[in-house]
Amino acid sequence: MAYKVPDLPYPYDALEPHISEETMRFHHDKHHQAYVDKANAALAGTEWEDVRPKEILTRLNELPDELRDVVRNNAGGQYNHCMFWRSMSPDGGGEPEGKLAHAIKDTFDTFARFKETLTAAALSVFGSGWAWLAFDGKRVFIVTTTNQDNPVSDGLTPLLGLDVWEHAYYLTYENRRPDYIEAFFNVIDWDAVAEGFAEAPRPDVSDILDRPVSISGVQKRYGDVSYDDAKTQAAELKALTGWGPMAKVGTVARAWTALSVTLERHDAATVTDLEPSEVAQMAEELWIIPPARSMV
């Protein structure tokens, strides 16, 4: 099944004045089409012709030497641009909400810092390439790639890609890449980015969520622990601090306080609503699962 350039999910002029109609026509109809044509020509008649671009990008080392570069560049061009069109919207801009917003704040502290960091990364790309918000199953962060490489080749989930090839902005912004980057923030479709984040692979922590914990002598599932439960448990353990036979009690009491803070900061009703990586890390600190390394 040959690759195809998908129709834009909005009219060519919909992203004006931030991304011009002329830029979109050239970028989508000419540049993206060229990647697709070259990828199809390279893959036709090979055992790879029915493999999806994303999968090809995770198996580049298996490609025959004579195909690797041309496929890497052009299957990459297809995968990156399909994602790029979907990540923009005439109703875009603003800031993300929900779990994606929390993940961005966990890494960057504020949305403004995230914007600064992505901008700096996009400006740092020498020549042609992309700046990405990516996710490793635990946290979000920013990476850059050259040419049409994609973070998926390094085992990461790309959430948002910013195309900083000159073909993405030169018709309007000429050599003013910073102005184009600023404009891009006005059209980012954060709902689409959040969908990708929700679907990204994460560690399976279902067995950890099912572990029993005792809150004020009442047994519950760790996954059902709420903010109030964590506060209660922290207060009870704090009262026992210094009692000889329970040398670790102060540390564990602080971990229950930390859990209550995390639940509150992430607007999470229970532990189940937290990111799986946090569920696992907090479980270690609470001694619900044995710590990976000694706390001494």
Give the residues lining the site for Fe ion (CB under 5 A): 163, 165, 168
| Cα(44)–Cα(1) distance, integer angstroms | 9
CB atoms within 10 A of CB 204: 10
| Identity of the amino acid at 277 | S
Please choose, from the candidates 252, 241, 245, 251, the residue with its C-alpha nearest in 3D space to the C-alpha of residue 214: 252
Question: Cβ closer to Fe ion: 73 or 277?
Answer: 73
CB 152 within 8 A of CB 58: yes
Residue 81 CB, nearest approach to Fe ion (Å): 6
Residue 164 CB, nearest approach to Fe ion (Å): 9
Question: Cβ closer to Fe ion: 89 or 262?
Answer: 89
Question: Cβ closer to Fe ion: 36 or 168?
Answer: 168
> Own/partner pairs for 278-284, CB < 8 Å, 24+ apart?
279/205, 279/208, 279/209, 279/222, 279/223, 280/203, 280/205, 280/208, 282/255, 282/258, 283/205, 283/208, 283/211, 283/222
| Cα(188)–Cα(122) distance, integer angstroms | 15
Residue 292 CB, nearest approach to Fe ion (Å): 42
Question: Cβ closer to Fe ion: 71 or 288?
Answer: 71
Question: Cβ closer to Fe ion: 35 or 222?
Answer: 35
Residue 247 CB, nearest approach to Fe ion (Å): 59
Residue 34 CB, nearest approach to Fe ion (Å): 10
CB closest to Fe ion, residue no: 163
How is residue 246 annotated by DSSP?
-
Question: Cβ closer to Fe ion: 163 or 275?
Answer: 163
Q: Which two tokens stand for residue 269?
A: 């009703």
Residue 9 CB, nearest approach to Fe ion (Å): 16
